[in-house]
Structure 1
């Protein structure tokens, strides 16, 4: 068998190998260029573009606070008016039980020196002509010292006051001057009553045995002059 004669030029196999090498080099260059320009990366290497920001802001309205119920003022019930206290029934002077009258003296001095002096049991006449009589003053009130105040008023008016004390034997409804019926004491009692707005009454049972003269029993309504 005869082998082909060798010539001086390159063989076809060598030329093919060089061509393949050249193609590989060109492919590598193209790959590098593509990688450098970012055109040939895989999907895993590329970062996902951020989603566009929404320009609309969703506003959730704040729930309104529940309305606070306003307290309704309830007018306070007015307390029922207390009934006025019943006035004490007036005590009849004639029915006051006074079996024995023992006044409590408080050592009253005698009458004014300028007044007409009259002894116990005897009447007198003042310089103005009014009949006078000795006076005994007793307190039948809740006011301490009322008899002493009344006695001072009588003395300043020219009356002779012989005794000042308390009357504890009953309740007298109003300030009263008492006299002995059938004597000049009634006129004197009326004169004293007119000066000091006193009631005039004859002596009742229990005062009959008292010494002669006018007896004034002062109560809470005594006002003086």
Structure 2
């Protein structure tokens, strides 16, 4: 038996139209369901931009992340991550400039001693030492055949500021050249070296024949002493 029997023709047409609409709606719903399911299956999981901390635990944005050696560095939130450069003298930093040695010190420029010349040394004695040594007593002895040579030599020394206290003769032996003698370890040594450098004499420590003589520098002049200071070329 037909379901539409006994129904008027207009009502029968309306029923058929409703059935068609229902069928179309079912088809559209099935297609939408299939499409939505595929999209959900193929969607990629969201990625996290936060860096991992120790043990793989994500660190929230803005929090410092541990760096090498346990030092925290800013997390990637737009802040600089480059550590500050070490300063001069710090490990890894530029080497600090060494101070320049003063004149006369090791590695420095040559020093200038009193006297105005590098070292200021004349005959091994500095210029200020020559001046300060002139207070030491000087005794002049003649060991030549020139009469009055000791006194003339003594006057030459006095003219240069030396403290000449005695003129005499030395006849206990022959001295080969005009020499200034001193007692080692006393001020006489400095004075004798300064005096010998100024007058071109030889300088030596006292020998046995004059070891116990009166204190002071003993200058024994010989034939090679030139009046007015110094020695002759012979």
Q: TM-score, normalised by structure 2?
A: 0.41
Larger-gyration structure (1/2): 1
Normalized per residue, the structure richer in helix is: 2
Relative contact order (C-alpha < 8 Å, sep 6+): which is higher?
1
